[in-house]
Amino acid sequence: MLGTLRGWRETLLVVAALLATLQLGSLVVPKYILPDVPAIAQAAREVLVSDARDIAATLLRLTEGVAAAFALGSLLGVAMGAVPAVARYARPLLNIMMAVPALNWILFAILWFGSAEVRVFFVVVVISLPFYALNVYEGIRGVPADLVEAVEAFRPTRTQAIRILLLPHTVPYIIMTTRSVLGYAIRITIFAELIGTAIGIGARLNAAQSQFRIDAVFAWTAVLVVINFVLQAAVERLDRRLLRWRPEQALR
Amino acid sequence: MTPVEHAPTPRRRQDREPRPEPDAVVLHDVWRAWGGAVAVAGLTFALRPGEIAACVGVTGAGKSTALRMVMGAIVPDRGEIRVLGHDPARDFGLLRGKIAPVFQTDRLLPWRTALENAALGLEILGVPAEERRRRAQAWLERLGLTAAASKLPHELSGGMRQRVSLARAFALDPQLLLLDEAFSHLDEVTAAGVRADFLSLARPLGTTCLLVTHSVAEAVEVADRILVFGRPARVVAEVRVAAPVRADPVAQDRVRREVLAHLQGAMAG
């Protein structure tokens, strides 16, 4: 991945190969099916200049939704870890939530909420929250028993034990969840925008499709891939900063 | 050893008040079973304030179970345990800051630096951040870890990590120190060094210490009194180790053989 600077040469080679394939393909199939690379580049320039507001709207929705899912999900995960009764009831509820297809959540959101912002927010939160809750819960359950005994031997209050031991131990789980949720949340946000909003990358994709602007669809696709890479790189950086206490392990 | 400005005032044993102080630890006819198997069977002993006592016994003798009951982590099935006048399990908060543990492995929080780990007990006690940092730093210095203060546990050697866990315990200025095989995880040379550091701190401070160890030699080197455990845990013999004995290798060897004979007798019986 570009952001990690690991294997960036390979990534560039794959991108070059994809562009070359696209260019060659555009020579043999009609332009409305496969546009050539210069046309896509031109479309990309256009969308970046004229539709910056849509990009910002999508990023804002994504950030709000993931942040809320992180906060509420982590809180629920900690509650599940600290109070067994909460875990007993929350686990089946979260499993049911995860079993509901994303499309159904989007339809519920369209039927339940008038505001486009609330619709997207609801869908992103309801889909991402279970991942945070269950992973934070697993993180708490995975706290080594000897560390629990060591901290407990100093007789902390329950709040101190959560702050000193449980929360720091869940950080790797939160970062791992964010890493996997981000890509999924982008797809969900775009999908929800495609159906339920007038502003945002999803809405622009919808417009491009209805105008048969295949070059714009490719341009938006490239923009989304870059956004995904940048966000993953940001999480990677956070990972290195917050988890420097974990020694690198590797098999020979 | 470097003198430290913020080190606590030593509680010297010879400065005891004329009236005898109550025992620091009292176990009376304590029993505990695990899944039907009796681990502790009528354990009775007491520790005087400032005393260093070592429980020795074979593997599986219930030594650690006994120590964890003194810690308050396990509740006995029956019998009475008083630690500094309190029930260690029921009066959980009342003993905060008064008992400190050192375990077989360092059990440091891996995301905390050595300094932050050493300050853990003080943080739980509610000592303000600046003061706890100063006190933890002072104890790290006493244990020769000045340069390691900002290091994470995985960046330290086993001996250094165990010294950090000693600093974490001593920083609290506890009245009772509980050591569960605290030196047995290290190689002999490192263990001897850490043990010497421990003694150089615990004896002048007059901290009451209860050690659990399977090493008779270690018990003879460290303790004022050795409690020989049978299996299941009960005291089958007590051996006093006077200060001159600890300084004399020949006398040490004699005591060591005496303790071993008690242990073998307990196993045969």
Q: What is the CATH number of the domain that holds B26?
A: 3.40.50.300
Question: CB-hemisphere CA count at 13 Å for A122?
Answer: 18
Count of pairs with CB atoms under 8 A, one residue in A, one in B: 60
For residues B247 and B264, membership in a common domain is answered with: yes
Question: Which residue among A154, A165, A244 sits closest to B121, beta carbon to beta carbon?
Answer: A154
For residues B117 and B166, membership in a common domain is answered with: yes
**Is B269 within a domain?**
yes
**CATH assignment of A52-213, among 1.10.3720.10, 3.40.50.450, 2.40.50.100, 3.30.70.1380:** 1.10.3720.10
C-beta separation of A174 from A81 below 8 A: no
For residues B85 and B126, membership in a common domain is answered with: no
**Is B216 within a domain?**
yes
**Is B128 within a domain?**
yes
Q: Which of B124, B151, B173 is the last residue of a domain?
A: B173
C-beta separation of A90 from A76 below 8 A: yes
Indicate which of A158, A245, A248, A249 best probes the interface with B, i.e. most B CBs within 10 Å of its own CB: A245
For residues B43 and B165, membership in a common domain is answered with: no
Three-state DSSP class for A82? helix
**Is B226 within a domain?**
yes
pLDDT on residue A144: 94
Chain A residues whose beta carbon lies within 8 Å of the beta carbon of residue B111: 168-169, 171, 245
Tokens of B41: 């069977």
**Rounded (10°) angle between helices A116-141 and A102-112:** 130
**Is B26 within a domain?**
yes
Per 3-state DSSP, what percentage of chain A is helix, strand, and coil (rounded to 5)? 85, 0, 15
- CB contact under 8 Å between A151 and B120, yes or no, is yes
Per 3-state DSSP, what percentage of chain B is helix, strand, and coil (rounded to 5)? 40, 20, 40
Instruction: Please tell me which residue of chain A has the smallest CA distance to B165.
Output: A150
Element (H, E) at B114: helix B114-118
Q: Which of B148, B173, B198 is the last residue of a domain?
A: B173
Tokens of B254: 């004699």
Pairwise CA distance, residues A167 & A197, whole Å: 37
Residue B87 touches chain A, beta carbons under 8 Å: no
Residues of A near B (Cβ–Cβ under 8 Å) read: 146-147, 149-157, 160, 164-165, 168-169, 171, 244-247
- CB contact under 8 Å between A153 and B120, yes or no, is no
For residues B119 and B82, membership in a common domain is answered with: no
**Is B4 within a domain?**
no
CB neighbours of B32 closer than 8 A, spacing ≥ 6? B38, B39, B40, B62, B65, B69, B74, B76, B77
- How close A200 comes to chain B (CA, Å)? 40
Interface of B with A in 141-160 (CB under 8 A): 152-154
Residue B11 touches chain A, beta carbons under 8 Å: no
B54-109, pLDDT tens digit by residue? 999 988 888 999 999 999 999 999 999 999 999 999 998 899 999 999 999 999 99
Q: Which of A11, A33, A69 is nearest to A226 (CA)?
A: A11
Q: What parts of chain A have a pLDDT lower than 50?
A: 1-3
pLDDT on residue B18: 54
Chain B residues whose beta carbon lies within 8 Å of the beta carbon of residue A156: 124
Question: Which residue among A153, A168, A247 sits closest to B71, beta carbon to beta carbon?
Answer: A153
Pairwise CA distance, residues A130 & A105, whole Å: 14
Residue B84 touches chain A, beta carbons under 8 Å: no
B192-209, pLDDT tens digit by residue? 888 888 888 888 998 999
- CB contact under 8 Å between A154 and B107, yes or no, is no
Pairwise CA distance, residues A178 & A167, whole Å: 16
Chain A residues whose beta carbon lies within 8 Å of the beta carbon of residue B92: 155
B30-60, pLDDT tens digit by residue? 999 988 889 999 999 999 999 999 999 988 8
Q: What is the mean pLDDT of chain B?
A: 89
Q: Which of B209, B132, B173 is nearest to B9 (CA)?
A: B173
Per the structure, the count of domains in chain B is 2
Pairwise CA distance, residues B162 & A194, whole Å: 59
Pairwise CA distance, residues A184 & A89, whole Å: 26
Chain A residues whose beta carbon lies within 8 Å of the beta carbon of residue B120: 151, 154, 164
Pairwise CA distance, residues B220 & B239, whole Å: 9
Tokens of B88: 């260690």
**Angle at B179 (CA atoms; ends B176, B181), nearest 5 degrees:** 170
Pairwise CA distance, residues B131 & B182, whole Å: 27
**Is B230 within a domain?**
yes
Q: Omega of the bond prior to B232 within 30 degrees of 0, cis?
A: yes
pLDDT on residue B186: 83
pLDDT on residue B267: 77
CA B211, B217, B221, B223 torsion: positive or negative?
positive
**C-alpha separations of B115 from A144, A178, B84, B140 in Å:** 21, 30, 29, 7
Residue B172 touches chain A, beta carbons under 8 Å: yes
Residue B220 touches chain A, beta carbons under 8 Å: no
pLDDT on residue B184: 85
Residue B121 touches chain A, beta carbons under 8 Å: yes
Indicate which of A147, A148, A151, A154 best probes the interface with B, i.e. most B CBs within 10 Å of its own CB: A154
Q: Which of B145, B173, B201 is the last residue of a domain?
A: B173
Instruction: Please tell me which residue of chain B has the smallest CA distance to A168.
Output: B111
pLDDT on residue A250: 63
What mean pLDDT do residues B12-29 have?
72
pLDDT on residue A251: 67
Over pLDDT 90: what percentage of chain B?
67
Pairing of strands B176-180, B208-213: parallel
pLDDT on residue B5: 44
B142 is in which domain, residue-wise?
99-173
If phi over 0 gives left and psi between -120 and 50 gives alpha, with beta otherwise, what is residue A234? alpha
Chain B residues whose beta carbon lies within 8 Å of the beta carbon of residue A139: none
**Is B193 within a domain?**
no
**In which band, very low, low, confident or very high, does the pLDDT at B7 lie, cut at 50, 70 and 90?**
very low
